A and B are shown apart, each in its own frame.
Chain A
């Protein structure tokens, strides 16, 4: 059974810092991996999707990397802003069918 872990569970940084969120998974036979953003009481916004054949994806100030062999993905946020404050969820897709989610990292960026 796939298990997904996100570290740290919570993170508080001053505005402008570059930061890294970590995601690890136990079964490396994945189809793809998605990073989501969730604002309090709101739905999920897909940030980046990395297919199993890819090493990284970039969107604006966000960069996600994938190392299947070690069961790890990182989400890098450059020049953080208060508007980046949210919970970030990592989810692994094993068979094109269903996602297994990590517990999330709650990020606060202080002005």
Chain B
């Protein structure tokens, strides 16, 4: 089984709808991240969380919110989806206390807002 899973894998929604993307991990990592990737571009950080009580905005947090329900679960919400939020969304995890802070990524969620 994959260490970092994302649901759904694909989603098409309409402008103005609320949508939630979910991420779960079995790696036991404290830190979790949400990124988005637009076609032909690298990933940009939306939000990150160091533990259940610590949530931080990333580079492009406007229009998004997050919830860290447990150490293993981190959800991303679009309160009122708009077409320019069409993108590929990735969740990632990392562990403090290791020298590398290497990040491990989920398979991604492809979101289309029409």
Contact = CB atoms under 8 A, between A and B. Distances in A.
Interface of A: 4, 6, 9, 31-32, 34, 36, 41-44, 46, 49, 51, 89, 91, 93, 96-99, 101-104
Interface residues of B, number: 25
Majority SS of interface residues in chain A?
A: strand
B103 interface: yes
Interface of B: 31, 33, 40-45, 48, 50, 58, 90, 92, 96, 99-108, 110
A66 B40 CA distance: 24
B45 A98 contact: yes
A104 B42 contact: yes
A98 B42 contact: no
B96 A96 contact: yes
Contacts of A44: 43, 90, 105
Contacts of B106: 43
8 contacts: A42-B108, A43-B105, A44-B43, A91-B42, A97-B48, A98-B33, A99-B43, A101-B44
Given A41-B110, A42-B107, A101 B42 contact: yes
